[in-house]
Amino acid sequence: MRSLWKSICIYAFLTVGGLISVYPLIYMLMTALKPMTLLFEFPPRFLPSEMTLSNFRDAWVSQNFALYLLNSILVTLISFVLIFLFSSMLAFAYSRFDFKGKGFSFTILMGGLVIPSLTLLIPQFVLIRQLGMFDSRWGLIVIYTAGAIPFTTFMLKGFFDSISRDIDESVEMEGGSAWTLFASIILPLSKPAFVPATIFNALTVWEEFPWALTIINDPAKRTLPIALANFQGQYTTQWGIVFAGSLIAILPIILLFLLLQRYFIAGITAGAVKG
Amino acid sequence: MTNKWSKISLLLLAILLVATACGKGNEGASDPGKDSAEKQITLTFWHHYSTASPEEKTLTGVLIPKFEAENRGIKVKPVAIPWDDLHKKLQIGGSGGDLPDVARLDIIWVPEFQKRGLLQPLDERFSDFNEIAEGLLEGPLSTAKVGEHYYGLPLNTNTKVLFWNKDMLGQSGIDKAPETAEEFFTALGKIKAKYDKSWGYGEPALQGWNILPWIWSNGGDILSPDFTTADGYLNSEATIDIVTKLRAAYASGQLAGFKPGDVPVTEGHAGGSYAMMAEGPWAVAQFQSQFGDFAFEMAPFPEGSAGSVQVLGGEDLGIFSEDKQEEAWKFVKFMVSEAAQVEMGKIGQIPVNLDAMENPEIKAVDYYAPFLEQLKTAKARPPIESWPQIDGVLSDTMSSIFMTDKDIKSELDAAVTKIDGLLQIN
Amino acid sequence: MEGAFSNEGVMIMRKKNGTAGYLFFLPGFLFFSVFILYPLIRNFLYSFYDFRLTDLNHLEFIGLGNYRYVFQDPVFWTSLRNIFLYGIISVPGQMILGFLVAYALYQNRPGSKTFRVLFFLPVITSWVVASLIFKFVFTDQGYLNYFIMDVLHLTDSTINWLSDPGKAMMVVSFLGIWKGVGWAMVIYMAALQGVPKDQYEAASLDGCNAWQQIRYITLPSIRSTTFFIQMMLIIGAFNVFTSIYLITDGGPLHQTEVMLTRMYQKAFTEYDLGYASALSYVFAVIIAGLTFLQFRLNKQE
């Protein structure tokens, strides 16, 4: 009897929480399905009286949405390759070596974790101009990559630390180099750790707006967040289209999560977050 | 094992290659003129028509193709940027030379960009400037003039009129729109008595765009006519008088709309939350597309002791280009030509071209009449470089006056000190 | 024993590869230095200049002037207060709810997987979209007031969720909790899986109830995870921007301003980049101090 009550309580708690969690997305979907942008009906009506897909069509065709989607995918993918390359090597260095300046540089790197990217907008703008990366997708990629290095290094170092050092020794015995240890042992063993690192970084890169707006001028190089912002007008905004576009935009991230979620929890082992 | 690593690096390399290839591919695509035709020139045009709006569809679907057909060898690349972001991008770009050839500028930005030396003086550069300018409305044209020269041409103009809900006012015992400020404030009280949960009037913000019409119509002002001081204007009797009345109306729940969480004004007007509001022609477009059943009524803005003085809004076209000036000028002339102005006029952008105003298609837009009447007395915000910052001070001061019970005179005095400080810096 | 052994391993690596460590360290650190550290230093220099967005090529040295303005600016103190308020509400909120959800889900009850996805959805919803929706829900004539006034009839007067600064901060904090519970949940779930099962068995033999189990077994064994989550969430709280920018824009009367909205406003509405740089440094020192404090407290325990 007591355990039945316990179960009921637990499920009630989960259901209420789950509904609150998913409610805004459903609200968005309902608004996107309304024929006219009656966002401010009073009394509010949750289910649209008429449903239409015209907002989704408008969002997709009214500008080069497919191209922006492609740009976003491209920028995100390349950023991830670079993020993982740099961060895993850094994490390996911090986890397995002793070198001069190790502690100091690690403190600085972790300092990068607490700096809001917004505060660096102007100096980064000046720098990117000097490097000739203005109005190019590389200008986005390098900044996104650099911004994600501290957190990713931190996570991966935790995971690498949890891998037994006996392995290091056996590689040594067999005459393998540090690179062999890194590339052939540590990286393959750490595959699960890359899943949470991907998901935690993906959204930050995917929805970044101020920086992309600042350095991209050419519409052909735009990413999705800029395209979405353009649906809002100075005086009036077509909310149905804004929400339809936003739904299309977050779909890839949701898919990515659903695809990877099997490995997700396993990736965040206690080791990965021990700090 | 090492095999695996080489696979990863190969994949990496492949992705990078694809990326660079794509990058180049698109660069090529965006500038097709490079190898096909020698004389092909691409003009970049920054604007803030929102995507999927009728204006944007007309620009990219009708006007630009027409211009390109008429001017072989010139391509126009339109770039949509949201209004306030456009301002920021032009400011940042101005320091590094990353500017468009032509841009659609809110009329209040022109002095600022002129001061920074970014805009071309059109009357000095182009011999046919006067000829073109003569065909345009004088008020909007004046917004492009800074000092002795013209740094743009007007593209569209607007102002606000009083929208009123006939049914709500009728139920409150008022059979016509209030004509004077006095009638307006009386009406607010009557509406509140009848509709406890609604407001007589909605004002979406407390910036110059919103507050100045009240001050001007009451004979007050924000700056001296030569724009050197706010002292004796923003803190004058006339200003204090109208601000006092507005605050009293706000305090008794007759006026709202600018606080976070308030019902959005245009939607709220259609929905019966606000019996009256002052808005521009875009509100008409919104009512027609979203609130088909709502019978909106328009009237002149309530008259004060100095008349019915609304604020002048609109956009100018400015040329930033150094090296494609002739082509840019051609595009600007095209955009202010009768044909282009009629196209935009049909979808709610009030034309500035005199011939377009007389065009039957524009005459047929019935809701323009009240706006055209109001435009006759509309006044521009001070054409000075520091206006955006002054506007910030004004908005902060008004918020503080409305939402606290601080002394109005001393709040306005404090604002005068701040504004005079801003005027001195520049 | 194991510790001693692994240390030896490092010793061997270090001896044989004196420079290899640098080869792994340098590429990433250089990249970070160029694109983050260097702009950070530039920003520090800017904070001593009168530097305006209207002319990025003009700098005028004014010493500590910007820092003086920061401390004299009443809005700075309001924003500091709001950040702490936001942190005090949203950090424990995310941690407690995240832990409870994780605790309810980690034993793989039927339906766990679905709930896990539901709770994680807010984490992968964009801040912009989430903020817009919260704004619509909490607006004076939004769903929530409709529900409270016209469905439940709890009160007759409109609740001004967004124009009352205190309530507006609650709404924004609630958004922070809504968005962050899933994140805390997955990390707690991973940690819970690492707690040895036999400890629970021993405890239930001793007659411990569920609460005692949590209190004496679960929480102590996941302490380092709790510390990690707490630290990351506090950093996240200091970075709150989009939600406030879109929901109240710091208003009314700058009463809901936080550090980043203030910085953004100074930089891009008032064009005062020097002030914004100084503000971001004051801000960085505060976060760094707090982080340091947390580490100290964590060690003492």
Gap between the Cα atoms of C238 and C43, Å rounded: 19
CB atoms within 10 A of CB A109: 24
Q: What integer is the mean pLDDT of B356-383?
A: 93
- Using the CB atoms, write b or e for C160-183: b if 16+ within 10 Å: bbbbbbebbbbbbbbbbbbbbbbb
- Banded pLDDT at B43 (limits 50, 70, 90): very high
Q: Is the pLDDT of residue B339 over 80?
A: yes
For A158-161, the CB contacts below 8 A with 24+ separation are A158/A271, A158/A272, A158/A273, A158/A274, A158/A275, A159/A91, A159/A190, A159/A192, A159/A193, A159/A269, A159/A271, A159/A272, A160/A91, A160/A92, A160/A95, A160/A96, A160/A186, A160/A190, A161/A95, A161/A271, A161/A274
Q: How far is C271 from chain B (nearest CA, A)?
A: 9
User: Does C266 map to a domain?
Assistant: yes
Q: Compare CB distances from B82 to A62, A138, A230 and report the shortest one's residue.
A: A230
Using a pLDDT cut of 70, give the percent of chain A over it.
Answer: 92
User: Does C203 map to a domain?
Assistant: yes
Nearest chain A residue to C268 by CA: give it: A122
Contact C82, C257 (CB under 8 A): yes
User: Does A18 map to a domain?
Assistant: no
- What is the tally of structural domains in chain C? 1
More confident: A64 or B237:
B237
Cα dihedral C238, C242, C244, C245, rounded to 10, equals: 120
CA distances to A27, B183, B397, C123, C124 from A253, rounded to whole Å, are: 19, 57, 44, 10, 7
pLDDT at A221: 93
Question: Which CATH superfamily groups domain B161-311+386-425?
Answer: Periplasmic binding protein-like II (3.40.190.10)
Alpha helices in chain C (DSSP H): 2-16, 20-32, 38-46, 65-72, 74-105, 112-120, 127-138, 143-146, 165-193, 197-205, 210-213, 219-221, 223-238, 242-247, 259-268, 273-300
Q: Compare CB distances from C178 to A20, A166, A264 and report the shortest one's residue.
A: A20
- Residue C271 falls in which region: left (phi positive, over 0), alpha (psi -120 to 50) or beta: left
Q: By the CB < 8 Å criterion, does A51 face chain C?
A: no
More confident: B331 or C150:
B331
Q: In this complex, do B260 and C269 lie within 8 Å of one another by their Cβ atoms?
A: no
- Displacement of CA B313 from its chain's centroid (Å): 5
Cis peptide before C252 (omega within 30 of 0): yes
- Using the CB atoms, write b or e for C129-155: b if 16+ within 10 Å: bbbbbbbbbbbbbbbbbbeebeeeeee
Q: What integer is the mean pLDDT of A102-109?
A: 92
Q: In this complex, do C141 and B263 lie within 8 Å of one another by their Cβ atoms?
A: yes
Gap between the Cα atoms of A224 and A60, Å rounded: 11
Q: By the CB < 8 Å criterion, does B261 face chain A?
A: no
Residues of C with CB under 8 A from a CB of B: 53-57, 138-141, 158, 160-163, 168, 247-249, 251-254, 256, 268-271
Residues of C in contact with B400 (CB under 8 A): 253
Reported as a single tens digit per residue, the pLDDT across A122-157 is: 899 989 988 999 999 999 999 999 999 999 999 899
Q: By the CB < 8 Å criterion, does B143 face chain A?
A: no
Which two tokens mark B1?
Answer: 């094992």
- Using the CB atoms, write b or e for B306-329: b if 16+ within 10 Å: eebbbbbbbbbbbbbbeebbebbb
Among A residues 180-219, those touching chain C with beta carbons less than 8 Å apart? 181-182, 196, 199-200, 202-203, 206-207, 209
Residues of C in contact with A37 (CB under 8 A): none
Gap between the Cα atoms of A264 and A197, Å rounded: 9
Structural domain span for residue C111: 68-300
Q: How far is C165 from chain A (nearest CA, A)?
A: 23
Q: Compare CB distances from A265 to C28, C190, C229 and report the shortest one's residue.
A: C190
Q: For domain B39-159+313-375, give its CATH number from 3.10.20.30, 3.30.1490.20, 3.40.190.10, 1.10.1740.110.
A: 3.40.190.10
User: Does C7 map to a domain?
Assistant: no
Q: Compare CB distances from C115 to A18, A105, A254 and report the shortest one's residue.
A: A18
Gap between the Cα atoms of C161 and A199, Å rounded: 33
CB atoms within 10 A of CB A127: 19
Q: Is the pLDDT of residue B325 over 90?
A: yes
CB atoms within 10 A of CB B405: 9
Q: In this complex, do C283 and A119 lie within 8 Å of one another by their Cβ atoms?
A: yes
Q: How far is B51 from chain A (nearest CA, A)?
A: 5
- SS3 state at B407: coil
Kind of pairing, strands B274-279 and B199-202?
parallel
CB atoms within 10 A of CB B196: 7
Which two tokens mark A18?
Answer: 């789950």
ipTM for the assembly: 0.90
Give the helix/strand (H/E) hosting A68: helix A65-96
User: Can B39-159+313-375 and B161-311+386-425 be said to share one CATH topology?
Assistant: yes
Gap between the Cα atoms of B330 and B344, Å rounded: 18
CA distances to A182, B51, B69, B102, C207 from B317, rounded to whole Å, are: 59, 19, 21, 7, 80
The CATH number of the domain holding residue C170 is 1.10.3720.10
User: Does A211 map to a domain?
Assistant: yes
Contact B58, B343 (CB under 8 A): yes
The CATH number of the domain holding residue A90 is 1.10.3720.10
Q: By the CB < 8 Å criterion, does B127 face chain A?
A: no
Q: Is the pLDDT of residue A85 over 80?
A: yes
Structural domain span for residue A171: 52-273
- Displacement of CA B26 from its chain's centroid (Å): 33
Q: By the CB < 8 Å criterion, does B96 face chain C?
A: yes
CA distances to A6, A80, C204 from C212, rounded to whole Å, are: 16, 44, 10
- Displacement of CA C299 from its chain's centroid (Å): 22
pLDDT at B21: 45
User: Does A121 map to a domain?
Assistant: yes
Using a pLDDT cut of 90, give the percent of chain B over it.
Answer: 74
Nearest chain A residue to B10 by CA: give it: A81
Q: For chain C, give the mean pLDDT.
A: 86
pTM metric for this prediction: 0.87
Gap between the Cα atoms of B166 and C234, Å rounded: 54
Q: Is the pLDDT of residue C29 over 90?
A: yes
Chains that touch A (3 or more CB pairs under 8 A): B, C
Reported as a single tens digit per residue, the pLDDT across B244-272 is: 999 999 999 999 999 888 888 998 899 89
- In degrees, rounded to 5, the angle at the alpha carbon of residue B110 between the alpha carbons of residues B159 and B88 is 100
DSSP string, A222-237: --HHHHHHTTB-SS-B
Using a pLDDT cut of 90, give the percent of chain C over it.
Answer: 42
Q: If you ran DSSP here, which 8-state letter would residue B261 be given?
A: T
User: Does A117 map to a domain?
Assistant: yes
- Banded pLDDT at B127 (limits 50, 70, 90): very high
Which two tokens mark B122?
Answer: 């059109």
Gap between the Cα atoms of B216 and B208, Å rounded: 11
Gap between the Cα atoms of C54 and C268, Å rounded: 10
Q: By the CB < 8 Å criterion, does B1 face chain A?
A: yes
- Banded pLDDT at B363 (limits 50, 70, 90): very high
Q: How many CA atoms lie within 13 A of B176 on its CB side?
A: 8
Gap between the Cα atoms of B185 and B393, Å rounded: 26
Reported as a single tens digit per residue, the pLDDT across A158-167 is: 889 888 888 8
Which of B377, B372, B350, B338 lies closest to B282, judged by CA? B350
Going from N- to C-terminal start, the domains of chain B cover: 39-159+313-375, 161-311+386-425
- What is the tally of structural domains in chain A? 1
Q: In this complex, do B50 and A81 lie within 8 Å of one another by their Cβ atoms?
A: no
State residue C217 phi and psi, 5-degree precision: -115, -55
Reported as a single tens digit per residue, the pLDDT across B186-230 is: 999 999 999 988 999 999 999 999 999 999 999 999 999 999 999
- SS3 state at C161: coil
Residues of C in contact with A147 (CB under 8 A): 35-36
Gap between the Cα atoms of A71 and B26, Å rounded: 11
Instruction: Name A98's Cβ contacts closer than 8 Å, sequence gap at least 6.
Output: C10, C14, C21
Residues of C in contact with A263 (CB under 8 A): none
Reported as a single tens digit per residue, the pLDDT across C2-19 is: 333 334 444 444 444 567
Q: By the CB < 8 Å criterion, does B123 face chain C?
A: no
- In degrees, rounded to 5, the angle at the alpha carbon of residue C57 between the alpha carbons of residues C55 and C60 is 90
Q: Compare CB distances from A220 to B26, B56, B88 and report the shortest one's residue.
A: B26
Q: Is the pLDDT of residue B334 over 60?
A: yes
> Given the structure tokens 């967005």, which residue do they identify?
C53
